[in-house]
Structure 1
Amino acid sequence: MLKEKAEKYYSSKYDLNCAETILYAANKAYDLNLTKDALKTMAGFGGGMAIEETCGAVTGAIAVLGIMFVEERAHEGEKIKNLVLQLFDRVEKRLDTVNCKLLKEKYRHDEEVKCKSIIVAVAEVLEEIIGSEA
């Protein structure tokens, strides 16, 4: 379900960046009831935080993990750290890197489709992790 929501939101109709797409999709898929202000927090994370570093879809997925699995703050335990490490490991195994620039070089060949295959892959990995925690 998350994959389908991500595909829906990563379109010209919604005009969201990669990080926003993952958070918007998870908000709908998992009924997170995030406010518009909460959703806007991912705006600066697209394009590898605008400097083509860590993929925005990955940073969006990290935000989702925090929202879903942290009670009050990260330091309450090791759970969020372990989930983030799982996310990085699985995305790197699937796509070879989490670096925006390298991902775009390898997977972004069509300006109309843009980073859709990357976003779908990250959404699938995130959904697997969430499913294993449920």
Structure 2
Amino acid sequence: MLKNLIESGFGKKEDYNCAEKILYGANTIYNLGLNTETLKLSAGFGGGMGIESVCGALTAGVMVLSYKYVNNVAHESDKIKEVNQKLFRAFMEEMNSIQCGYLKKIYRKEDIGCSNIIIKAAEILDRLMIE
């Protein structure tokens, strides 16, 4: 699923950031049907929104889950809050943080960048999309 796509190098040639890899990849794997203009919304979330705040792979995961579980607005969804909490809890348990700055210090490698972080977010998102 999405994890496998990311592991295969998806988005490297296009120079996608972490958020773009998740949203563009999810669009492909989960057949979301998002157009190019909509996909561009993820651009500013990379690198923890450019300030090393919450990981862009996670914020893009929230976008994907919102697309799946919200019909019009969040308050009408009985699922979005719960599934977002599952995403963040699972990521925190497995990576010890949701903060880009911390994650980069621990997991980012010169040769592969943040691939391990993005792959972990994709793996968790795959599990939640199946639920």
Report if the CA contact (8 A) 1:48-1:55 is conserved.
yes
After TM superposition, give the deviation of residue 72 of structure 1 in Å. Answer: 1.0
Q: Which residue of 1 aligns with 2:88?
A: 88
Tell me the secondary structure at the aligned position of residue 87 of structure 1. Answer: helix
Partner Cα separation in structure 1 for residue 27 and residue 5 of structure 2:
9
Residues 21-55 of structure 1, C-alpha deviation per residue, up to 9 Å, x if partnerless? 00011000011111001100000000000000000
Does residue 5 (structure 1) correspond to residue 35 (structure 2)? The answer is: no
Partner Cα separation in structure 1 for residue 116 and residue 11 of structure 2:
10
Tell me the secondary structure at the aligned position of residue 98 of structure 2. Answer: coil
Does residue 53 (structure 1) correspond to residue 72 (structure 2)? The answer is: no
Report if the CA contact (8 A) 2:10-2:21 is conserved.
yes
Tell me the secondary structure at the aligned position of residue 112 of structure 1. Answer: coil
Q: Which residue of 2 aligns with 1:116?
A: 115
Tell me the secondary structure at the aligned position of residue 93 of structure 1. Answer: helix
Q: Name stretches of at least 5 consecutive residues in structure 1 with no aligned partner.
A: none
Q: Which residue of 1 aligns with 2:99?
A: 99
Report if the CA contact (8 A) 2:2-2:122 is conserved.
yes
After TM superposition, give the deviation of residue 75 of structure 1 in Å. Answer: 0.8
After TM superposition, give the deviation of residue 78 of structure 1 in Å. Answer: 3.1
Return the TM-score normalized by structure 1. Answer: 0.93
C-alpha distance 10-96 of structure 1, shift in aligned 2 (>3 A)? farther
After TM superposition, give the deviation of residue 91 of structure 1 in Å. Answer: 0.3
- Say how many residue pairs are matched: 130
Tell me the secondary structure at the aligned position of residue 39 of structure 2. Answer: helix
After TM superposition, give the deviation of residue 9 of structure 1 in Å. Answer: 2.2
- Letter matched to residue 91 of structure 1: F
Report if the CA contact (8 A) 2:71-2:77 is conserved.
no
Q: Which residue of 2 aligns with 1:67?
A: 67
Q: Name stretches of at least 5 consecutive residues in structure 2 with no aligned partner.
A: none
Report if the CA contact (8 A) 2:5-2:25 is conserved.
yes
Identity of aligned residues (%): 43
Does residue 23 (structure 1) correspond to residue 23 (structure 2)? The answer is: yes
- Letter matched to residue 113 of structure 2: K
Partner Cα separation in structure 1 for residue 128 and residue 75 of structure 2:
20
Partner Cα separation in structure 1 for residue 78 and residue 85 of structure 2:
11
Q: What is the CA RMSD across the aligned residues, in angstroms?
A: 1.0
